[in-house]
Amino acid sequence: MKKIIIVFLLAAAILSGCTSFQQKENSNDARQETKSGEAEEENKEPSAIANETRNFLLIGVDSRGEEDSRSDAILVASYEPSGESIKLVSLMRDSYVKIPDYQYAYSKLNHAYYIGGKDLLKETIEQNFGINIDHTAVIDFMGFTGMLDAIAPDGIEVEVSSKMIEDMGLDLEPGKQKLKGRDLLSYVRFRHDGQSDFGRVDRQQEILIGLKDEVMNQFSSPAGLARFPDVISQAMKYVETDLKIEEALSLGVSFLMNPVTDIETLRVPITDSYENKTYEHAGSVLQLNFEENAEALKQFLETEKE
């Protein structure tokens, strides 16, 4: 029962270790509209929220408690209550995007969080990719290890290469191995191979998908159901989110009625839709074809109607 919010919360935790532009004509009006929308959201009943498609911005930050940090992992998770899957979009942190009110106009996507926190990152994503974000969740390295140890104390099985073992300083043999909190953090952050950040994004999604079944199994028994409220309360201690506990439980009820069986994934930029560029103020970036990526994202997130 009530398992879907665990997936959302865990998504922020798991992925914390990894790391056609549509500008509104009047930015002040845009911010006013956002505030008005937030006010309307405050008045909604949790049950109403659970019946709507929701887009969650999941932000993993490269911090162990410091104030200044960058968003090392940026994902959008879309949940449609009557559907059978969660749609998960990984946004590459080096994507070269237009940041509202930024002195150089464009920079890396993760720089938006550094200069303006989750609100500016949310606004940047919405304006560059033409999608709406309903809720945000942020977690850092300490939250990642704490939550993983609480939810998956026996670890998660992954394929570990010799290069990873050397880089991470692990006393293991190459092949299938179960990694726990801190080692999983190192696993999803590893990028010292030919895939670099693209490999990290793949591992982010791999761990999330692998964890889904474990989460499902934990709450399928009467004993698991009995401890569900406590797990939710503990999980939310590790995550900074605007999602209220009653909203989380309401989403869980929705999941009970319409079980999620799959996680669909997309990486942005999509293949052959970007160039590697270098700018003095931003360093190495991914120069996106925004029209192509925005259209791919729109099609991916759209819910098919009968």
User: Which CATH number belongs to the domain containing residue 207 in this structure?
Assistant: 3.40.630.190
Residue 267 has a pLDDT of 95
What is the rounded average pLDDT of the residues 133-140? Answer: 90
Peptide bond into 229 cis (omega under 30): no
Residue 114: inside a domain, yes or no? no
| Closest among 155, 156, 177, 157 to 165, alpha carbons compared | 177
Q: How does pLDDT run across 230-264, given as a tens digit for each residue?
A: 766 776 777 888 877 777 666 655 655 566 677 89
Residue 241: inside a domain, yes or no? yes
Residue 192 near residue 167 (C-beta atoms within 8 A): yes
| Closest among 291, 301, 302, 300 to 129, alpha carbons compared | 291
Residue 215 near residue 119 (C-beta atoms within 8 A): no
The token duo for 292 is 């192509």
Residue 306: inside a domain, yes or no? no
What's the distance, Cα to Cα, between the start and end of the chain in Å?
27
Residue 5 near residue 232 (C-beta atoms within 8 A): yes
Residue 35 has a pLDDT of 47
Residue 266: inside a domain, yes or no? yes
Residue 121: inside a domain, yes or no? no
**Total structural domains within the chain:** 1
Domain hosting residue 57, numbered range: 4-93+133-276
Give the residue with greater pLDDT, 250 vs 124.
Answer: 124
Residue 186 near residue 17 (C-beta atoms within 8 A): yes
- The angle that helices 181-189 and 141-151 make with each other, rounded to 10 degrees, is 130
Residue 122: inside a domain, yes or no? no
CA-based torsion, 294, 300, 302, 304: positive or negative: positive
